[in-house]
């Protein structure tokens, strides 16, 4: 019986021991190479584009020879104004990458010996950078669509006589959301967050290319897809796959997301659920890459992403 890829040595190409043994100078050099790959790590002024600069070695910053602007490797990126060392930043990314079903901010804070707030914001900045990889993309070919509800749990009363029907709107918290997914077979996974699964029909119609074959379950709101796509339906009360119709890959992703939310994070705010869904989609799409390649990809995305409008000064607002 062949060994699963994730169980082989090829899947482990970087470790925390390696990160901390390389030292701060080497970690800084890696960030520079990923920020400025076209010049092999030679700094480029983000203000005027000049490639000539003075090195301020004591502060790990650069001063442009043309406009005298001082900048660092993270200036203008989603990691701007960071206080954490480059070694700890790289270690944090490795820890998050190694968590196949995510890593809670509390666990990350304990591993890095930092505040929970620091780990929380850093994790969300990395999720935002990961989500930027699929911004503006669409899916085609054979596409599976589905949805799953998260949050809004109402704890039942102790006494049975005091319990209410938690399915009724008046007995809900209003925080329940659904993650709608469109997953291309052997392709990318695109997600959105809506209040009901029916609201996801517009999302699917927008990001699925014409001529694609869409697989969906028997929920009535997916009937609208027949007008635009060739659609195959599967009744899960009878079979998981029948006559070529199935949504098993979409269900597989939603299972990963549910294990991430319930097993690691335990509680996810509705306003942040879309980032957790994007993180799970990114991990699912790249699950066959070794952790070194995933770390390189994540750092490159962070270095190419501008300052976050959502997470800059989050705790000061």
Q: 185-232: per-residue pLDDT in tens? A: 999 999 999 999 999 999 999 999 999 999 999 999 999 999 999 999
Reply yes or no on whether the pLDDT at 171 is more than 90. no
Reply yes or no on whether the pLDDT at 1 is more than 80. no
Contacts 24+ apart (CB under 8 A), 197-205: 197/147, 197/149, 197/221, 200/145, 200/147, 201/225, 204/143, 204/145, 204/180
CA distance 228 to 244: 20
Reply yes or no on whether the pLDDT at 317 is more than 70. no
CA distances 24 to 28, 90, 303, Å, are 6, 10, 18
Q: How confident is the model at residue 177 (pLDDT cuts 50, 70, 90)?
A: very high
The mean per-residue pLDDT over the stretch 127-152 comes to 95
The mean per-residue pLDDT over the stretch 149-155 comes to 87
Cα 60 to chain centroid distance, Å, stands at 29
CA distance 235 to 241: 9
């Amino acid at each position: 019986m062949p060994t699963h890829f994730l169980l082989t040595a090829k899947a482990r190409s970087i470790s925390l021991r390696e990160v901390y043994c390389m030292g701060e100078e080497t970690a800084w050099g890696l960030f520079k190479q990923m920020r400025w790959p076209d010049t092999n790590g030679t700094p480029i002024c983000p203000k005027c584009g000049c490639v000539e600069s003075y090195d301020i070695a004591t502060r790990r910053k650069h001063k442009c020879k043309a406009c005298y602007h001082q900048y660092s490797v993270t200036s203008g990126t989603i990691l701007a104004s960071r206080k954490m060392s480059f070694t700890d930043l790289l270690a944090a990314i490795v820890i998050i990458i190694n968590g196949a079903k995510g890593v809670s901010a509390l666990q990350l804070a304990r591993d890095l010996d930092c505040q929970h707030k620091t780990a929380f914001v850093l994790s969300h900045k990395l999720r935002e950078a990961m989500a930027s990889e699929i911004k503006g993309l669409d899916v085609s070919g054979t596409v599976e669509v589905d949805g799953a509800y998260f949050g809004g749990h109402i704890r039942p009363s102790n006494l049975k006589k005091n319990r209410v029907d938690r399915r009724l709107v008046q007995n809900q918290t209003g925080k329940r959301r659904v993650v709608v997914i469109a997953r291309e077979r052997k392709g990318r996974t695109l997600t959105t967050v809506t209040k009901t699964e029916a609201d996801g029909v517009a999302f699917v119609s927008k990001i699925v290319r014409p001529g694609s074959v869409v697989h969906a379950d028997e929920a009535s709101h997916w009937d609208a897809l027949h007008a635009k796509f060739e659609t195959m339906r599967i009744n899960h009360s009878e079979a998981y796959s029948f006559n070529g119709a199935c949504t098993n890959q979409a269900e597989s992703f939603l299972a990963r997301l549910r294990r991430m939310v319930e097993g690691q994070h335990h509680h996810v705010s509705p306003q942040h659920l879309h980032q957790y869904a994007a993180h799970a989609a990114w991990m699912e799409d790249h699950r066959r890459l070794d952790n070194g390649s995933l770390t390189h990809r994540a750092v490159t995305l962070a270095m190419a992403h501008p300052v976050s409008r959502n997470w800059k000064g989050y705790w000061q607002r």
